Each structure stands twice: as C-alpha cells, then as structure tokens.
C-alpha cells in the first residue's frame, strides 16, 4: 500500500474496539466506529468520551486534543459506512462465527481492493478469517492490548496468505502512525503473549478452585513476591473471564494440552455472568459507580 493510511474503520465499540478507535483518533486519523445499531453506536461514543475525559483529568491529554479526537470520530450502526476505509480493524466478540461473518461482509463492502482488513482477535486463526473473503492476502492480525490507550504493544500476526505488502502496511500503521511497539507472530492460537499468559492465569484459577489459597493471597503473592504489577486473578478480571475462557478454549482446541483447558470454576463463573471488572464481580468485587 503506497498511500499512508488516514481513513480507519473499527467494527465493534466495546472495550477493545473503543480503545482502538480512540488511539486512531488521537493520532489524527479519520475514524469510523461501526456497531450493531444506533443505540450501541451511542454507547461506543460515550465509552470513548469517558476515556478521553479520564486522560485529560490525569494530565495525559490536553482538553482541546480530546475534543478534536472525539470530533474526528464518527459512529454508525451500519457496516456500509466503512466502504471508503483504507484499514478496517474488527474487534467484535471473540467467537469464530461472529468474526467470520464480519469479514465476509467487509469483503463485499470495502471498496478499495488494496485496503487492509485486520482482526484484533486474541487467539483465533487469522487464516480462517481471511478465507471468509476473496482477498486473504489483505487480511492480517493486529492484536492490541487492554487498555489500548495505555499499553504500548501490538502483535502483528500473518497467515500463510498475508502478503508482504499487507504486513508492511500493518506494521507501519501500528508503529509509525500509532507509536506502538510491534512484535511479530505466526498464525498459531494465542500468538506470543496469550500462549504464555493464559496457562499462568489458568494455574491461578485452579489454585483458587482447589482452596489452596484465596484469590487475594494468590494475587498478593505474585504482586509482592514476583514484582508483577497485577496478580493473575485480578488480571483475568480485567481481561474479562469470558475472554479468558474463550482464548483457553481456542488454545486447547488447537494444541490439546491440559495446561490450556479452562477449569470448571472459570466456566461456571462465565455461565453465572461473573465476568470481572466489566460486570462488577469476578474473582474480586469492583465498584461500578
């Protein structure tokens, strides 16, 4: 792709999608967030506005820059409004069917054949999503980390079909335009970070499940004994226990190794809607006010 990417679309305005859209808008890009309907689109706008306001209050962003970022971000309830985008990042729920459906639709909607179609999946095969399109060479993984405006890392994940041109465009966008640090990964479940992180989180869940130690003591042990900024169960709550379980299932499905198998306690908590910070309760309780 010879032209710089200046027009970006984000599919999904949840925690991750809103964060991706925010960093794009703060980098001066024309950004469109597509949600399932107008109500969800307004919620995505509110989510980004709140995040920008927090950045201003913490002295990380000037008030005028926050206003400008929100002004250059459009919100829509229709994928059709992404037709003119040079890059679209999919950030919907971590379910293969939902993501595949989005890519099949984008393939028909996005007009520029040289546009990059990226997925923010945590663990699903990029190849599977690329094969839902007629342009698998333009499909790549751009895996951001939560909270996106704060964490500097992006994993760039290439499938067997991803072209060198697409890879270069994705890396230049993440590193050059957004100022992120890029690590590269082949297209295997979990990529680099989650392939290492998820077994650690699951081990902590199993320890709590067995009654070996409390959630508070497990987290304190890793924070104070190993200098981790956040204990494993608090981190799992931040990520979202549903997301942790989904990534674990994807890893186990690919490798069939027990260390990737989601423990029963994790599965029960997801079924109960105890998903961590976003619901106010997971392994810890959080103030939703």
Residues 206 and 179 in one domain: no
- Tens digits of residue pLDDT in 203-237: 999 999 999 999 999 999 999 999 999 999 999 99
Catalytic member of 35, 94, 123, 143? 143
Residues 41 and 89 in one domain: yes
Phi/psi of residue 287, nearest 5 degrees = -75, 120
* Total Cβ atoms within 10 A of residue 11: 26
Residues 75 and 144 in one domain: yes
- Tens digits of residue pLDDT in 49-86: 999 999 999 999 999 999 999 999 999 999 999 999 99
Catalytic member of 120, 123, 185, 194? 194
Residues 55 and 174 in one domain: yes
How far is 182 from 144, CA to CA, in rounded Å?
Answer: 10
Q: Look up the pTM and report it.
A: 0.90
Flag whether pLDDT at 200 surpasses 50: yes
Active site residue 122: yes
Q: Is residue 1 part of a domain?
A: no
Q: Residue 7's closest CA among 116, 105, 90, 149?
A: 116
Instruction: Name residues whose C-beta falls within 8 Å of residue 182's C-beta, 6 or more positions apart in sequence.
Output: 154, 155, 156, 171, 174, 175
pLDDT at 288: 76
What CATH number is associated with residue 260?
1.10.1040.10
Lowest mean pLDDT among 174-178, 260-264, 284-288: 284-288
Active site residue 194: yes
How far is 45 from 64, CA to CA, in rounded Å?
Answer: 17
What CATH number is associated with residue 83?
3.40.50.720
Q: What percent of the chain has pLDDT over 70?
A: 99
> Tokens for 274?
């105890």
pLDDT at 123: 86
CB burial class (10 A; 0-12, 13-18, 19+) of residue 261?
A: middle
pLDDT at 175: 97
Residues 172 and 266 in one domain: no
Catalytic member of 120, 155, 159, 246? 155
Flag whether pLDDT at 2 surpasses 50: no
Residues 224 and 177 in one domain: no
Q: Which domain holds residue 226?
A: 194-279
Active site residue 155: yes
Active site residue 246: no
Residues 134 and 267 in one domain: no
Q: Is residue 170 part of a domain?
A: yes
- Tens digits of residue pLDDT in 92-110: 998 899 999 999 999 999 9
């Amino acid at each position: 792709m010879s032209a710089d990417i200046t027009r970006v679309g984000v599919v999904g305005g949840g925690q991750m999608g809103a964060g991706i859209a925010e960093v794009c808008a703060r980098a001066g890009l024309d950004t469109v967030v597509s949600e399932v309907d107008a109500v969800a689109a307004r919620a995505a706008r509110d989510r980004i506005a709140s995040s920008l306001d927090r950045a201003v209050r913490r002295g990380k962003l000037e008030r005028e820059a926050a206003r400008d970022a929100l002004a250059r971000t459009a919100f829509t309830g229709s994928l059709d409004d992404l037709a003119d985008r040079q890059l679209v990042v999919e950030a919907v729920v971590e379910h293969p069917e939902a993501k595949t459906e989005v890519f099949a639709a984008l393939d028909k909607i996005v007009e520029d054949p040289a546009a990059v179609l990226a997925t923010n999946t945590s663990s699903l095969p990029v190849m599977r999503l690329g094969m839902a399109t007629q342009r698998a060479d333009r499909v790549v993984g751009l895996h951001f980390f939560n909270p996106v405006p704060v964490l500097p890392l992006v994993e760039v994940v290439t499938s067997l079909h991803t072209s060198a041109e697409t890879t270069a465009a994705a890396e230049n966008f993440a590193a050059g335009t957004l100022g992120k640090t890029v690590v590269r990964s082949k297209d295997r479940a979990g990529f680099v970070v989650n392939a290492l992180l998820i077994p650690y989180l699951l081990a902590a869940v199993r320890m709590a499940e067995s009654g070996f130690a409390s959630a508070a003591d497990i987290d304190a042990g890793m924070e104070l004994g190993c200098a981790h900024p956040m204990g494993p169960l608090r981190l799992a709550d931040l990520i979202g226990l549903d997301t942790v379980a989904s990534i674990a299932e994807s890893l186990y499905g690919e490798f069939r190794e027990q260390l990737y198998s989601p423990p029963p306690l994790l599965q029960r908590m997801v079924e109960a809607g105890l998903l961590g910070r976003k619901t106010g309760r997971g392994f810890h309780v959080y103030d939703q006010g």
